[in-house]
Structure 1
């Protein structure tokens, strides 16, 4: 399989917080990009910048050589790919599908198997890095799929991220993303508690961050999300509702493997409490509100 060239037509479905930035990188590199989003208005800027609007995922699948998806939930992935009007009913043999959505490993394997029967190719490639990583093309991309498909798509993936690793066969990318979310979940509790403690103790949280962010306590969340907590900025780089979905997937997979995850279970319950109080569409850093308000 040959590497993709700039003549390859790319379809992109899901132009939300991260997807919009990803499309912009593809356009900037000269790729023809066709876009679809359930809320059409979210594609207006991209169309003005050169993208082509399509009326449905199926319409994109008919025209694209590569179709990328960044949608909300596994049921969205399933209907987009495998539904009665799903893309696999419309795409031509040889089409490559790359799903950036955090979904289930089981569904990633189903999509791979269906594509294989139809002479198509898939990569499950969930990402990490949030809105900033997407905007700056510094996403970590965790890939599951066949080596030759991965290598063919690598030039395009490099337009979107800097840490791109093939983890194994179909579903491996999703399993790796679960590891990522498990690590973040408990860490976010620690970050929130550290900042709340600093403020309650009468310290300047910004100065505390200067001391602890480069030491053993350092983490992406501490460096990137703690400043937002301090500023009272709870806009989503990654939605709480989507993080709850991810933690639910990870807990289900862990249960199937007979692994206990008490830290993850606690984090999920804390975020669910926030969502019940109207914070589902806030960024994950809004967990801070549970500790300290004002």
Structure 2
């Protein structure tokens, strides 16, 4: 890959670790985030600060975005001072935010009109996967574009799959979030059952996490639930956003998803009680009645 300048927008819980891996790999990294304070550790490591989205887009061969909500993605890419209007000809635009599949298709079409390469590439693995560079990356776009940026993806993740055309990455992430939604209920109920039965939940997890009940959520978030650690590896409010998108898409496809609907209902109840900025593992509080 001859391209060396990467623009990164969004250095939150996961984005900062993803950007760090790119710096460590030797890429010329330019960054922009709404709160410059959050970018200080990256700037100290050699990243270059840009004052605006347009300034970053004008300098980068590849632009990566990892922001909060579809409305943020839409603004960053499609506004007059956004990425598509200001990107260098032939550059690669990769949105790694979990967003709406239809929006990913729109961005792809608008980018193609200007001779730009666009992909949606949401990730899974939380703060742990981001720190370890082991994220699952679910890509949507053209094969040639995927092949070109694969070396960059490999600096941030391990399980990297091109799922299909534009929007396919986001649809895959919706399937991922649907799986997690019901699983988080199961993990919470299992821990509470162990406690009510007078068992040591840590020992219970040691037994069940390597059997048929094993899952990433059980192994990584179960221990946090037991400790009462609700610090965000992935914000509850962002999971609610993801589940809302998934539920809407499922309904439009005529698909019933009762597990997803129940999980969304429980998380929304917690958010209404002030827990939206806690991690998804704070779901255990609903079962504890600690809200």
Same fold per superposition (TM over 0.5)? yes
**Is residue 143 from structure 1 mapped to residue 142 from structure 2 by the alignment?**
no
Selected match of 1:210 from 206, 213, 226: 206
Tell me the TM-score normalized by structure 1.
0.97
Deviation (angstroms), 1:12: 0.2
Equivalent residue in structure 1 for 2:227, among 211, 228, 231: 231
Structure 1 residue 292, shift from structure 2 partner: 1.6
Q: Deviations over 1:189-209 (max 9, x none)?
A: 000010011112211000000
Q: Is 1:274 matched with 2:276?
A: no
Q: In structure 1, which of residues 127, 131, 152 is the aligned counterpart of residue 148 of structure 2?
A: 152
**Which residue of 1 is the match for residue 112 of structure 2?**
116
**CA-to-partner distance for each residue in 1:57-97, whole Å, 9 max, x for gaps?**
11100000000000000000000000121111111210100
- For these two proteins, the number of residue pairs brought into alignment is 290
SS of alignment partner, residue 288 of structure 2: coil
Q: How far is 1:293 from its partner? A: 5.7
Shift, 1:251, TM fit = 0.7
* 1:124-148 per-position Cα deviation (integer Å, ceiling 9, x unaligned): 0000000000000000000000000
2:15 match: 19
1:167 aligned counterpart, secondary structure: strand
Q: Secondary structure at the match of 1:291?
A: helix
Match of 1:183 among 169, 179, 183: 179
Q: Any idea what SS the aligned residue of 2:40 has? A: helix
**Correspondence for 1:127:** 123
Identify the residue that residue 194 of structure 1 maps to in structure 2. 190
Separation (CA, whole Å) in 2 of partners of 1:72 and 1:128 = 14
Cα distance in structure 1, aligned partners of 2:8 and 2:228: 33
Which residue of 2 is the match for residue 257 of structure 1? 253
1:77 aligned residue = 73
1:173 pairs with 2:153? no
TM-score of the pair, normalised by structure 2: 0.98
RMSD after superposition: 0.9
Helix, strand or coil at the partner of 1:193: helix
Q: Give the structure 2 partner of residue 48 of structure 1.
A: 44
Write out per-residue CA displacement over residues 235-283 of structure 1, whole angstroms, 9 at most, x where no aligned residue: 0010000000000000111111111111100000000000011100000
In structure 2, relative to structure 1, the CA distance for the partners of 1:27 and 1:106 (3 Å cut) is same
What CA distance in whole angstroms lies between the structure 1 residues aligned with 2:239 and 2:191? 21
Say which of 60, 67, 75 aligns to 1:64.
60
Separation of aligned partners in 2, 1:87 and 1:100: 14
Q: Give 1:289's aligned residue.
A: 285
Gaps of 5+ in 2: none
